Amino acid sequence: MKAMHMVTHSENTAIPEGLAALSIDDRGWVGTNNGWPFAGQPALFPIPQANALMYAWNAFSLGLLPAPENVPDDVKEWLT
């Protein structure tokens, strides 16, 4: 299974501060303006939401979902 990664303003200054783009290994951007994961402009998410999506994708896809008490609070806010 491929992992999801978050790209923020600190890695790419074209991304506004407070927002993040998500990508999946060898699968391109998560959500684009034209539906093409390697050619479109990536969707931007608030960082806490991007973190929750990334956390859920990686935890579920890798079978590593921890007990609820170990899930970071900002992730719980978006998942619940």
pLDDT in tens, 28-79: 888 888 888 788 888 999 998 998 888 888 877 555 666 667 777 777 676 6
Is 45 buried (19+), middle (13-18) or exposed (0-12) by CB count in 10 A? Answer: buried
pLDDT band at 18 (very low <50, low <70, confident <90, very high): very high
Predicted structure pTM score: 0.73
* Residue of higher predicted confidence among 36 and 10: 10
